Each structure stands twice: as structure tokens, then as C-alpha cells.
Amino acid sequence: MVPRRYVFPGVLEMNYQARRRLGVNIYLIDGGTEFALIDVGFLDELPDVLELIRQMDFSLSACKLIIATHADVDHIQGLSRAREVLKCDIAAHPRSVPAIEEGDEVMTYARIEAQGIRIPMPRCKVDRTVDEGDRLAIGDRTLEVWSTPGHTAGQLALRMGNLLFSGDNIFRDGSVGVIDAHHGSNLLDFIASLERIGRSDVEFLLPSHGPIFRKDNRLIDATIERLRGYTHLADFGTCAVDWPLMDAWEEELARGELPV
């Protein structure tokens, strides 16, 4: 048996447990009589993750639920196989369901033709949808569901006491989940989700990538200001709200100004 390395009471994270970097952070919520997983990662990492759970002396049959924070391939490629092995329900936000159940390669980032990326995206049935305000009982632990769109329309965060499993909303260096119009990203929603996290009284953010960190409102505020800037620039195309440069240029053209 491998000793369990709890990052917080009732919370194990597979990267910390394995002492190596996996493709995504995978959280195990230990409710005593049963457990849940938040994301499962890539298919080729799943056997190692399941073996690690076994080595920590968890019965695989005690898995009550797998929660997909959102429908990106690095979070859900192993979902179908995990459902088959663990024989548990899969939960996701309603707006993540089509991409998961259809195995949509574009919406999940499994296929990015311009970069020659194409990996399998197995379809997986979603057994239950979860949304804002839902409460998920996992043994003696309870997760409160937050809808935090922006990176994707179906991005979820999950609160447990003073902890927030924050998905791809923000990472320790202030970066955020990919912003891509093809992916359904929305800058204004992203800003609103970050503002909500900043206003909350949670103490620690447990993201889907990288290290766990203490919530720092200065970091969040700086990230929000950066995203606000993007809403008025061409950097992210149709994710922007407007492009003031074009309005200014139109006025210059009307005045007959020439470049100097």
C-alpha cells in the first residue's frame, strides 16, 4: 500500500501523489465511505491513475462520481474508459454534454489542423448534468457547484469549504485557460467568473493545471485587467467586444488624413 498524501483534509491530487507531472490535475475527493474524481485526464495516463488509486487502498467500486470540469480533451479523453472500469456516473455542465457525448474533436481541442494535432476523442455518455447551486454529496464531503464560463461555456468550479477546485479559470502565474472563439470562449464571461472568484471568501484555488495556490486578489485583479484589455484589441478576434482602432481610423479617413 502507498501512503496517501492529502493536500487538504479529504483531498488527494494525483500529480502530488505520483510526484510527477501528469497531463492534467486529477483530484480525488475522499468522503470516507466513497470517493469522487474531478477530471480524469488523458487516456494513456488513466491506467497509472487507476493503479495509484488502488495502491492507496481505495476500492474502485467506491467511486461514486466523476465530474468533468469542462469538455477539453486533456481533461476527458479517459472519461469513457474510466466510466467503464469504475462503473460510476459521469457529471458535467449541460453545455459540455454535446462535445463529450459526440466526441467532438474540434470543440474538445482533440483536432487542431493548423498545428497537425489530431488525437482520438472517445465518446462518453454523461449520466447527469450539474449546474450553478447544485450540491454533490460524496460521503461526508459536499461539493457546491459553480458555473464559471469564459474559457468554455460549460466550465465548472467546485467549492468545498475554503477550497475552490477552479478548473481552467486561473493558474498560479496569472495565466488562464485558452481563449478561442472556435472553442466557445467568451471574454466578458471570463472576467465575470474571475470577479466572482475574487469576491469569494475561499482561501485556496485548486486549478486543473499546475500547482495549488492561495487565492491572491492582486493576481486575480491583474489578470482581469489584462482580459479587459483584450476585449478592445484584435488579439482574440471575435472574442473582442470592439476594436477602437478601427473607429479612430474611420474618423481619420473622413478627415482626409494621410499617414506621416
Angle between helices 217-230 and 187-199 (to 10 degrees): 170
- Sign for the pseudo-dihedral over CA of 1, 211, 216, 202: negative
Whether residue 54 is contained in a domain is answered as yes
How many whole angstroms separate alpha carbon 184 and alpha carbon 154? 9
Please give the average per-residue pLDDT across 56-84, as a whole number: 98
Whether residue 260 is contained in a domain is answered as no
The boundaries of the domain holding residue 214 are 11-255
Read off the pLDDT of residues 18-32 as tens digits, 9 standing for 90 and up.
999 998 999 999 999
Whether residue 197 is contained in a domain is answered as yes
Read off the pLDDT of residues 205-246 as tens digits, 9 standing for 90 and up.
999 999 999 999 999 999 999 999 999 999 999 999 999 999
Whether residue 126 is contained in a domain is answered as yes
Whether residue 6 is contained in a domain is answered as no
Please give the average per-residue pLDDT across 58-69, as a whole number: 98
How many whole angstroms separate alpha carbon 107 and alpha carbon 87? 26
Percent of the chain having pLDDT more than 70? 100
How many structural domains comprise the chain?
Answer: 1
Which CATH number does the domain housing residue 165 bear?
Answer: 3.60.15.10
How many whole angstroms separate alpha carbon 244 and alpha carbon 222? 22
Whether residue 186 is contained in a domain is answered as yes
pLDDT of residue 260: 82
pLDDT of residue 183: 84
Whether residue 3 is contained in a domain is answered as no
Whether residue 112 is contained in a domain is answered as yes
Q: Are 91 and 79 in contact (CB under 8 A)?
A: no
Read off the pLDDT of residues 103-125 as tens digits, 9 standing for 90 and up.
999 999 999 898 999 999 999 99
